[in-house]
Amino acid sequence: MADKVSDFLLKRLSEWGIRRIFGYPGDGILGIMGALERHPDLFQFVQVRHEEMAAFMASGHAKFTGELGVCMATSGPGAIHLLNGLYDAKMDHQPVLAIVGQSARSALGGNYQQEVDLMNLFKDVAGEYVHTCTDAVQMRQLVDRACRIALAERTVTCIIMPKDVQDLDAVEKPPHKHNTVHTSAGYFYPYTIPSKEDLQRAADILNEGKKVAILIGAGAMDAGPEVTKVANLLGCGVAKALLGKAALPDDLPFVTGGLGLLGTTPSWNMMMNCDTLLMVGSSFPYSEFLPKEGQARGIQIDIDPRMVGIRYPMELNLIGDSVQTLRALIPLLHWKQDRSWREKIESDIRDWWKTVEARAKESADPINPEFVTWELSPRLPDKAILSADSGTTANWYGRTIKMRQGMKGSVSGSLASLGAAVPYAIAAKFAYPDRVPIALTGDGAFQMNGLNEMITVKKYWKEWSDPRLVFIVFNNQDLNQVTWEMRIEAGDPKLPMTQSIPDMPYAAYAESLGLRGIRVEKPEDVGRAIDEALSANCPTVIDVYTDPDVPTLPPHITFEEAKNYSTALLHMDPDEGGIIKESIKSLVEGILPGLGEKDK
Ligand SMILES: Cc1ncc(C[n+]2csc(CCOP(=O)(O)OP(=O)(O)O)c2C)c(N)n1
Ligand SMILES: [Mg+2]
């Protein structure tokens, strides 16, 4: 049989190195599904439960592998379902290609069933490149351009495939005549460094600084060794935006940890007292956690010119690859003789880890959520891949997990969508079947979509060389992160009507699918449950009953927030008693010192 457009689409994608497509079928992509069956050697098609999960998996795949993630959905409802996961990829600058079906050309414009204006629908999320294939001859250029633009711009692109076009005879090479386009596959990453003059200016500023602070993000993911050299030369510490948590291990003595609401006191202190800020590969959004305008001289390094100078008034913006730019910068930097700033940072960090331990070990009813991550951290297998959800799990992941060399981790950073941790972990498992992904997820997030994706795990887990894959559900029967936001930002008490969520037997549910399920109701069982999951011969869901009254408060708290917090309690918060009992020590130990210094 001669190749159809669908066969050629797949063959061309495989020339781009694509080996896996996350998706869900529908009659709008019948032709492509047929071609997938005809080419099992080229692709693995991962069948999810909901198209949003396919898009999150493509995003997670891109995050963990650095490759282009590909997802596919049918026309109309399938395409619409992809959107949230695609925005996750776009906002965290991940290359993802979405392939969606469309009504046949003969029906388009006829208000046909499932006909949605997909060009317009995807115009925002895939604004860099979204095109409809209306003729077989276009297929090659559409694939080549969609892949290249997604990789080069680290963004989302989209190819819309009307269903009749999928079955046309393939045209692999356009005729050599007017009105044709002749493209090739492959993207070759450029070597990008700033000019010598700008590098020297940056070095002069950094050499003059007495108290330098470095902030890194996901853009520094491969630059750990270079960041370490710079931090050693400049005698400073390194804070990490949440997406950059895996860029540098947390067991280095100068890594201050996270910054921001989910951050640490050493990061806060370093930012508030530095005289020079070097920001690498980060678009960390919360300006109140960066130095005050005028306090520090700023230098930013980013590969994307659109992302520089938007968070702090930088004196110098360097456009370049983080690894290559830092390598070019290092020979120009001088060893800081005075090490007192660095020593202070290191001692802050040592104190901070004691605070974390004390907080994690504080009693709670029934289990302190921070204790779960505290127990998990030293047990993490080498090269573990972590994901955390939007919700309080992001706090515990950010603060308590000590990331080691070789591990990976991510969250839905800029979109901060609920429901990313589970699909990220599944995508990680497909990409690295010999490693152990661990998803930290709230019960709200797990109910939103994690439960269904356990069915996807059931479908595939026996194919994985190492079947271990762990989902830890923080069962607090509350949309707890928002409950705390209500208390602290709005001064409202917990509102059960919007915040309480039902309990459900997550472990028993996992068992019903043939997975391992472990229910944990006492702190003394947490470690053993994690050990069991890490030595199981199948994926495991740990259902751990955590206390919603343990505060997720930031390392500093403003006077306004403190006032709101106490006002909420006075307003008869239903959990008032529990909070006072369980959290007051936390407040005093880890948080009020920040208040004392900064917000009087
Ligand atoms: C799709 C989506 N809907 C709503 C939110 C707002 N939101 C952020 S955190 C959160 C609560 C999450 O609850 P849960 O998953 O149970 O985690 P917990 O905070 O209780 O640990 C909500 C509703 C969001 N970020 N994304
Ligand atoms: Mg919850």
Q: Which CATH number characterizes residue 43's domain?
A: 3.40.50.970
Q: What is the pLDDT of residue 89?
A: 98
Q: Is 481 in the pocket of ligand 1 (CB under 6 A)?
A: yes
CA–centroid distance, residue 257 to ligand 2 (Å)? 24
Beta strands in 487-583 (DSSP E): 516-520, 540-545
Domain extent at residue 119: 5-167
Q: Is 26 in the pocket of ligand 1 (CB under 6 A)?
A: no
328 and 366 part of one domain: no
Which is the closest atom of ligand 1 to the Cα of 369?
21
Across 67-81, 222-236, 478-492, least confident range: 478-492
User: Which residue from 284, 149, 165 is spatially nearest to 213, judged by alpha carbons?
Assistant: 284
pLDDT band of residue 565 (cuts 50, 70, 90) is low
CA–centroid distance, residue 502 to ligand 2 (Å)? 10
Whether the CB-CB separation of 297 and 210 falls below 8 Å is answered with no
pLDDT value at 502 more than 80: yes
Using alpha carbons only, give the angle 127, 128, 131 rounded to the nearest 5 degrees.
Answer: 75
Q: Is 420 in the pocket of ligand 1 (CB under 6 A)?
A: no
114 and 90 part of one domain: yes
pLDDT value at 594 more than 70: no
pLDDT value at 452 more than 70: yes
**Domain end: 326, 348, 370, which one?**
348
End-to-end CA distance of the chain: 78
302 and 395 part of one domain: no
User: Which residue from 218, 279, 264 is spatially nearest to 243, judged by alpha carbons?
Assistant: 218
556 and 440 part of one domain: yes
User: Residue 146, by phi and psi: left (phi above 0), alpha (psi -120 to 50) or beta?
Assistant: alpha
Structure tokens at 56: 């999150």
Instruction: Estimate to the nearest angstrom the gap between the alpha carbon of 442 and the chain centroid.
Output: 15
Look at residue 186 and tell me if it is in a domain: no
Q: What is the pLDDT of residue 493?
A: 84
What pLDDT, in 10s, does the model give residues 415-432?
A: 999 999 999 999 999 999
Q: Is 444 in the pocket of ligand 1 (CB under 6 A)?
A: yes
Query: In total, how many domains does the chain have?
Result: 3
CA–centroid distance, residue 533 to ligand 2 (Å)? 21
Peptide bond into 593 cis (omega under 30): no
Name residue 130's beta-bridge partners. Answer: 158
User: Which residue from 332, 287, 325, 276 is spatially nearest to 303, judged by alpha carbons?
Assistant: 325
313 and 391 part of one domain: no
Among all bound ligands, the one having the nearest atom to the CA of 439 is 1
**Higher-confidence residue: 583 or 21?**
21
Residue identifier of the C-alpha nearest atom 3 of ligand 1: 418
Residue identifier of the C-alpha nearest atom 16 of ligand 1: 444
280 and 387 part of one domain: no
276 and 301 part of one domain: yes
318 and 426 part of one domain: no
Name residue 255's beta-bridge partners. Answer: 238
pLDDT value at 578 more than 90: no
367 and 298 part of one domain: no
H helix or E strand, kind and range, residue 343? helix 340-361
Q: What is the pLDDT of residue 577?
A: 65
Residue of 50, 84, 418, 483 to test ligand 1 pocket, by largest number of atoms within 8 Å of CB: 418
What pLDDT, in 10s, does the model give residues 345-362?
A: 999 999 999 989 998 999
pTM here is 0.95
What's the whole-number average pLDDT of the chain?
Answer: 93
**Domain end: 327, 348, 369, which one?**
348
Structure tokens at 323: 């690894």
Which is the closest atom of ligand 1 to the Cα of 84?
1
Residue 92's identity, in one-letter code, is: D
H helix or E strand, kind and range, residue 255? strand 255-258
Look at residue 12 and tell me if it is in a domain: yes
Look at residue 329 and tell me if it is in a domain: yes
Look at residue 593 and tell me if it is in a domain: no
Look at residue 183 and tell me if it is in a domain: no
Residue identifier of the C-alpha nearest atom 11 of ligand 1: 479
Please, how many CA atoms are within 13 Å of residue 41, restricted to the half-sphere of its CB?
A: 2
Whether the CB-CB separation of 370 and 586 falls below 8 Å is answered with no
